Amino acid sequence: MKIAIIGKGHVGSALGAGLTRAGHDVKYGHRAPNARPHKVAEWGELVIIAVPYNQLGNVTIELKDVVDDKIVIDVTNCLDPHGELAIGFSTSGAEQLQKALPLAKVVKAFNTVFAQNQSTGCIGETRLSAFVAGDDVDAKQSVMSLATEIGFEPVDCGPLTSARFLEPMGMQLIQLGYGMQMGPSIGYRLIRG
């Protein structure tokens, strides 16, 4: 699959490495003049958005007319300038993104995983869960398949409104990793009895 990744930072590079290893064709869009998000997203069959939350509005404007009918994976964690949750409870960043890109198939995924674990989906031998939420069932299934190809164990979290739970989970991970000083070699795994 041709995968456009908007953002070539920690997250974009890690997911790109995992997806390249899985055999996908990856191109990055960022702020360099020769890597405009618009062009790269137009090329991609699927688009991953991995930019800071405060840049999501700018990126959305660039993507507006090139992501119709495409799957758009939202990896952002909605941090305000103080590092607090910027949005939540009655909506989520992913739902706001879906409103801004109404014809795209927005799926929330990978935001509950530290970047350093995103290229393999594992810590040591242990597979991490990739929590995936979205309204389009086929799109969500495709994202779960990509997550499996990287190395994660995907978990269907239901409709896009579940991003209201996944985004605070991302915040909790940051709190555990940095607030509680456990470091980034930690992650979530759903245990089924």
The footprint of ligand NAP (CB under 6 A) covers: 6-12, 30-32, 37, 50-53, 55, 58-59, 75-77, 79, 111, 114-115, 170
Q: Which is nearer to ligand NAP, 54 or 138 (CB)?
A: 54
Reduce the DSSP state of residue 28 to 3 states and report it.
strand
For residue 163, the minimal CB distance to ligand NAP (Å) is: 13
For residue 77, the minimal CB distance to ligand NAP (Å) is: 3
Residue nearest to ligand NAP (CB): 9
Q: 39 with 29: CB under 8 angstroms?
A: yes
Instruction: Provide φ and ψ at 174, rounded to 5°.
Output: -60, -40
Q: Which is nearer to ligand NAP, 51 or 143 (CB)?
A: 51
Q: Which residues contact 84 (CB under 8 A, 6 or more apart)?
A: none
Distance CA 94, CA 162 (A): 9
For residue 191, the minimal CB distance to ligand NAP (Å) is: 22
Q: Which is nearer to ligand NAP, 11 or 26 (CB)?
A: 11
Distance CA 191, CA 188 (A): 10
Q: Which is nearer to ligand NAP, 52 or 183 (CB)?
A: 52
For residue 57, the minimal CB distance to ligand NAP (Å) is: 9
Q: Which is nearer to ligand NAP, 104 or 138 (CB)?
A: 104
Instruction: Provide φ and ψ at 18, rounded to 5°.
Output: -65, -40
Instruction: Provide φ and ψ at 3, rounded to 5°.
Output: -115, 120
| Angle, in degrees to the nearest 10, between helices 163-174 and 93-100 | 130
For residue 184, the minimal CB distance to ligand NAP (Å) is: 7
